Structure 1
């Protein structure tokens, strides 16, 4: 039985929702993270709230590039959920050398530790960015991987490192390619499609859409965090050596903007209606419609939340004062924050 779970990169956007769920499910959880996006004096207090006092939570502040510290942390763990990386394509592009160190080179000493200590289960968070630009109506897991960015490329390399170097006879590994995450979390990000547009609609009253035709697959943060928990429960034979896309709705950026406008207008009935301004082009040409038929068929997995739910959750958070200075505070925007703290 898997009881001791290490979440590498567990103090980020997804981790801030995932870790409390693991604790609620009575797992003994260790978080290994640099806590780059935490401001509280008490480690993790602004990310996990009262859960920092949970006797089943161990927090380790560490860099994934620190091979010795990573190995010591991996030792004795039953399962590992690997979320750590410079998250999303633009974050890697601002410093390509740093991106390579964090998102790719560090992965090899991690894999070495997994093999040395014979971790029973490894769950790796990849990305649909591995597919690049696709014209197929549905992007399935067996299509060629043609990433357009370093971020996607390093995820491809990491996936290959797992499949080539981690023996299934020793470690049950599974790779998840989750869609763009959306919704409210204690460690909030406002640099992801749905979240960006909701922030603009609520706080500026104008949504600027660049291009608009680019297709984006989406997944609610509650669903993706539930999925990682579920990956600890499946039998080995159900997931061993498999790759799964995970998401719910494929929509164009313009379609997302229209959804956001409708909900924000409804939730602020006395305000001027939100405007949508569409520009002619975008520097971001990534576009793909991802298929989730495999995970739904093989694991009978179904998401429970929608983009509409994510927008409403975010609006509720804005109304409750949980997201102060959301247009200017760099903590909500990965690139701006990394530049501000001069992350190296």
Structure 2
């Protein structure tokens, strides 16, 4: 039994591959390396550089490696970018998954785990937001993921596939062992920006919107540690292997922190001050998003290990400092060459 991980060299995907490899699973990766890094993969894990929507490639990998389960991470994830380039997001997220599913169906792969997002809810009517809440995405990113969820449901019903859709809330942090983390240049994740500011790589951090009807005027998010998220995928795989029915699950902790609280947590952990600049609201941003986690906790054998904002911030900071040292060493080596 081999697990195919698409986007497995990216931020969340690489944590997933390490979690599977640590557990002794057979893993194979497809990644176009547009935002991923081959060096993030554990030694011995095969990497096929290409598109998850390349059906010939996917079918060949499935046949050659005996793939019986797919965990699909590959896609585009930046909300403001999706507002500027909606067609690109529908291509990368929805069309790519359609091709991937077609290859899976042709090859008889009947277990599929999909990386979705809380952005499918838009501004929810109730918080914490349950999985049965209305889906009203505010961005092409959210819509592209919702379209994929609908397509996956229909494909599974027609072809006897079982799936788990995991709707991520705000993913942050890095591998506690320092093996992998977020290294994408120009990343828009709040904690990534905060650690870059704390390490002097950014002059400031922008806060978009301070006039929301929240306690401090800034948006509120439910952060989940990337390693806990990877373990949720492992639990979802075990669930499907044991015959579990297809299901959609929120992935968060059920606790919200504001943007300003998150910045203060980074200041405490790093023991450094950094500039904050207030800016207008951004189109497509959601005011408050906190998960109702009762379904995932009752469905999967999953217990979060890092449910603490300062722990998440500390792991992100440790990773960023490691990256900073490595880049500095490369610059010094280049200067002396």
Task: Please give the per-residue CA displacement for 1:171-205, whole angstroms capped at 9, x wherever unaligned.
Answer: 22111011121113345244212222222233257
CA distance in 2, matches of 1:325, 1:309: 24
Over the aligned positions, Cα root-mean-square deviation in angstroms equals 2.5
Who is 1:111 aligned against?
Answer: 101
Residue in 1 that maps onto 2:183: 188
Q: Which residue of 1 aligns with 2:209?
A: 211
Counterpart of 1:13 in structure 2 is 11
The runs of 5 or more residues in structure 2 that have no matched partner are: 175-179, 211-217, 329-337
Q: Say whether the 8 Å CA contact 1:209–1:257 is kept in structure 2.
A: no
Question: 1:83-232 counterparts in 2 under 5 A?
Answer: 83-167=73-157, 170-184=160-174, 185-189=180-184, 190-203=187-200, 204=202, 206-212=204-210, 213-232=218-237
Partner of 1:307: 309
| Displacement after TM superposition at 1:304 (Å) | 1.3
Unmatched segments (≥5 aa) in structure 1: 327-344
Distance change >3 Å, CA 38–CA 69, structure 1 → 2: same
Greater alpha carbon shift after TM alignment, 158-167 vs 138-147? 158-167
Distance in 2 between residues matched to 1:198 and 1:228, nearest whole Å? 26
Q: Does 1:34 align with 2:32?
A: yes
CA contact (8 A) 1:168 1:240 kept: no
The CA distance in 2 between the partners of 1:193 and 1:321, in whole Å, is 18
Corresponding position of 2:248: 243
Change (3 A) 1:113 1:321: closer
Separation in 1 of the partners of 2:77 and 2:285? 18
**1:301-334 deviation line (CA, Å, top 9, x unaligned):** 33211221121122223433546679xxxxxxxx
Deviation string for 1:240-275 (max 9, x for gaps)? 21100011232221221222222222xx5xxxx345
Contact 1:132/1:286, CA 8 A, preserved across alignment:
yes
Report if aligned partners of 2:86, 2:141 keep a CA contact under 8 Å in 1: no
- Is the CA contact 1:14–1:225 (under 8 Å) kept in the aligned structure 2? yes
CA distance in 1, matches of 2:139, 2:280: 22
Q: Deviations over 1:84-115 (max 9, x none)?
A: 11123233334322222111122222222222
Query: Which residue does 1:333 correspond to in 2?
Result: none
Q: Could you state the TM-score of these two structures normalised by the residue count of structure 2?
A: 0.83
Distance 1:285 1:102, change over 3 A: closer
SS of match in other structure, 1:81: strand
Aligned length: 308
2:54 to 53, 59, 66: 66
Check conservation: 1:8, 1:32, Cα contact below 8 A. yes
Partners of 1:15 and 1:92 in 2: how far apart? 21
Residue 277 of structure 1 and its aligned partner are, at CA, apart by: 4.0
Distance 1:206 1:141, change over 3 A: same
Residue 262 (structure 2) pairs with residue 256 (structure 1): yes
